[in-house]
Structure 1
Amino acid sequence: MELSIFTVDAFTDQPFKGNPAAVCLLPNALRDELYQKIAAEMNLSETAFIMRLNPTDDFTSGSRFGLRWFTPTNEVPLCGHATLASAAVLFYKKKNINPTLVFETLSGELNVRLCGQSIVMDFPLHKPVVLDPAEVKDLIKATVGDLSIQDVCYCTVTKKLLVRLSDSCDRSALTSLKPDAAQQLKTESSGKVKGVIVTVKGAPTAQPGYDFFSRYFAPWNGIPEDPVTGSAHTVLAGYWSEKLGKQKMLAYQCSSRGGELELMIRGDGRVDIAGRAVTVFQGTLTL
């Protein structure tokens, strides 16, 4: 069996920036174990599998597809950058003729559309709730060391812990973080937390005017640090929208690769997450 596969850098307009995802086009569903084996072979934070739902459709004319995401170690219920990468393959490489694509996923239906040079994803908004820092003090210590903390929140749906650094900290404090992944796993083994978001207030008056910065760590999914994370921004958008009193925000995830996300809070419990993408590899996977 031969399958078309691509590597796409998401949330960037430059090769080798943003977050790389593998995208595999499937004419038919695979045996369950093959998804995980392919994701482990690609060894990126996520591999996306796009499946035809209607046998008469193809990747150019179809408007509705199945979509699954796998890390090198497990399947995940939601992945933003691999969704963006999947849409980029269909829109840019397969020249899909539809203005909007619908992906059926573990997180429900996700609509994705082109808007100028960006791809806009319609995602659920996940507002976190305040958490007593004492409940996760060892995990916080393993992640941010002795830096001053302003807020700690938790999202039960995504199992993401959000740690906001004090406003006395700037972007450089965030970029200099060196979390201890082994210690993170040791201090949190209950399954309650699957990822830690660390964030700090931005400088919207400076150009290009980022409202907030973040980094994301998920060793529980085999990802010590994810370069740019759409799913984390479903939580960050809910948090910062309330803190800043803004519906439209510009965010930057300041990993070593870095990536930019445009966020628009909607009135229906959803958030539009927009970004760009660049395909850097395409080939054939032989099974």
Structure 2
Amino acid sequence: MIWFLFGFSSSEGSRFGLRWFTPACEVPLCGHATLASAAVLFHKIKNVNSTLTFVTLSGELRAKREEDGIVLDFPLYPAHPQDFHEVEDLIKTAIGDTLIQDICYSPDTRKLLVRLSDTYNRSFLENLKVNTQNLLQVENTGKVKGLILTLKGDPDGQAQAFDFYSRYFAPWLGVAEDPVTGSAHTVLSSYWSQQLGKKNMHACQCSCRGGELEISLHPDGRVDIRGSVAIVLEGTLTA
């Protein structure tokens, strides 16, 4: 992922333009690149503001500095029930005969959410082999741009319990599998809030380089996604 940050007085300004690009195209929303932009401004540029506003293709996004991480204020996108037969070829190509509990579609983000059977556990989702190589041939209408696989979380009372798990695939955008995806959680948060009857949730995206997210839904139809950051590399680009 490559992103471009635009703004003046980066140490004192509170408003910046932001765009994101995958190896294949520009995308309207990217969570980890927004988190990284905020981290650089807060921790490297030493921006003096506690909250930054990014002007993007998805409207205004806010990043708030907190002691234990950064909180991103994102849109919340509903997912609607999807007829299995309309996406059967896509699902069968991706995960074969894996048992399905529910299927929903988010028209705002063009993401297909596939909930796996509650009989499966986290280990099953982590080890599931997903065929992304043939998805572009199976689905080439432009309706689907991302595939979310998700699973209900641990029973209450378990240590470090999660409300839900997920993995995310977007070969249509040049990304076979994304490690931790803020944009996918704008859909997942809406879906699981309705399913679980909860506004505050603890989520885990369990890809090989996955991560944990703290989620809080707003009364105004937006969602806070909290994450931690670590700057691991610095460099200078020269023409």
TM, length-normalised to structure 2:
0.98
Q: Which residue is equivalent to 1:79? A: 30
Q: Which residue is equivalent to 1:170? A: 121
Shift of 1:190: 0.4
Q: Secondary structure at the match of 2:237?
A: strand
1:51 aligns with 2:51: no
1:206 aligns with 2:161: no
State how far apart, in whole Å, the 2-side matches of 1:144 and 1:246 are: 29
Matched residues, percent identical? 58
Q: Which residue is equivalent to 1:215? A: 167
1:197 aligns with 2:152: no
Matched to 2:112, the amino acid is L
- Deviation per CA, 1:91-125: give whole Å up to 9, x if none: 01111000110000000111110122210011000
1:95 aligns with 2:95: no
Shift of 1:205: 2.6
C-alpha RMSD of matched pairs (Å): 0.9
Shift of 1:286: 1.2
Matched to 1:167, the amino acid is D
Q: Which residue is equivalent to 2:70? A: 119
Shift of 1:152: 0.3
- Deviation per CA, 1:124-182: give whole Å up to 9, x if none: 00010000111000111122221110100000010000000010011111111222222
State how far apart, in whole Å, the 1-side matches of 2:236 and 2:218 are: 39
Shift of 1:49: 1.1
- Deviation per CA, 1:210-246: give whole Å up to 9, x if none: 1000000000011000000000000000000000000
1:161 aligns with 2:112: yes
State how far apart, in whole Å, the 1-side matches of 2:36 and 2:157 are: 31
State how far apart, in whole Å, the 2-side matches of 1:205 and 1:144 are: 31
Give yes or no for contact 2:95–2:131 (8 Å, CA) kept in 1: no
State how far apart, in whole Å, the 2-side matches of 1:235 and 1:126 are: 5
Matched to 1:208, the amino acid is Q
Q: Secondary structure at the match of 1:50?
A: strand
- Deviation per CA, 1:1-47: give whole Å up to 9, x if none: xxxxxxxxxxxxxxxxxxxxxxxxxxxxxxxxxxxxxxxxxxxxx21
Q: Secondary structure at the match of 1:279?
A: coil
1:234 aligns with 2:186: yes
Count of aligned pairs: 238
Equivalent position to 1:139, from 87, 90, 94: 90
Matched to 1:118, the amino acid is G
Equivalent position to 1:256, from 188, 208, 225: 208
Moved segments of 4+, more than 6 Å: none
1:245 aligns with 2:197: yes
Equivalent position to 1:184, from 122, 135, 143: 135
Matched to 2:82, the amino acid is L
Q: Secondary structure at the match of 1:181?
A: coil
Q: Secondary structure at the match of 1:286?
A: coil
Higher relative contact order, structure no. (Cα contacts within 8 Å, ≥ 6 residues apart): 1
